[in-house]
Amino acid sequence: MALNDFDKKMKHHKLAMELFDNLDKPPGYKDMSDRITKLEKKQASKHNKKSLSEVKINFDDDGALLIIGDTQIQLRPHTNQSCFCKVLFDSKVGKFIGWDLIYEEITGNEPDDIERNQKTVMDTMYKLNTKITEKTGRKGHVFTRDNKSIKRNY
């Protein structure tokens, strides 16, 4: 199996580090191996990230736990975000759900101020998408809206 460019660079880097470790160090030398190791891990994790479409995404309502690939995002139970996820993960991927149904799950009430109540649901969706991107490092949106409805993309 042929090595890709990233693997070749990492192999050469490790060989150079081994040679350098065997040399006598001058007085005042600062060991940078910890810093280099962190950089290697960061580059390797970026290199191995899959898009949201390539990982399994689930929501555990009992634990208010959003599971995206091997990343678990703990949501506080009975909050806007956990109620939002409950509604959207109870339906099929790609099925649009009216914002008012999501609002009723969040509050237990029917919408009374349409503009403000719709904003609550939409803000919840945007915050969840942002949280998912920050925690997983993956691009894309799990949830999208079309007019007054929201769907789960994956």
Summarised one tens digit per residue, pLDDT across range 72-97 is 999 999 999 999 999 999 999 999 99
pLDDT at site 76: 96
Q: Answer whether residue 47 shows pLDDT above 50.
A: no
pTM listed for this prediction: 0.69
Better-scored residue on pLDDT, 110 or 1: 110
Measured over the CA atoms of residue 6, residue 134, residue 51 and residue 66, the dihedral's sign is positive
Relative to beta strand 149-152, strand 71-74 is unpaired
pLDDT at 49 (0 to 100): 66
Which DSSP string do the residues of the chain spell out, in sequence order? -PPPHHHHHHHHHHHHHHHHHTSPPPTT----HHHHHHHHHHHHHHHTPPPGGGS-EEEETTTTEEEETTEEEE--TTSHHHHHHHHHHTS-TT--EEHHHHHHHHHSS--SSHHHHHHHHHHHHHHHHHHHHHHH---S-SEEEETTEEEE--
What is the predicted pLDDT for the residue at 135? 92
State mean pLDDT over 59-78.
96
> Would you state the structure tokens that stand for residue 61, as one six-digit string?
């309502």
Say whether pLDDT at 11 is over 80. Answer: no
Tokens of 48: 């191995």
The predicted-structure confidence for 106-136, as pLDDT tens digits, reads as follows: 999 999 999 999 999 999 999 999 999 999 9
Class of domain 52-152: mainly alpha
Query: 137 or 107: which carries more pLDDT confidence?
Result: 107
Better-scored residue on pLDDT, 16 or 35: 16
Domain boundaries defined on the chain: 5-47, 52-152
How high is the mean pLDDT of the chain? Answer: 84
CB under 8 Å to 131, separation ≥6 — which residues?
73, 81
pLDDT of 151 higher than 70: yes
Dihedral, CA of residue 5, residue 7, residue 12 and residue 15, to nearest 10: 180
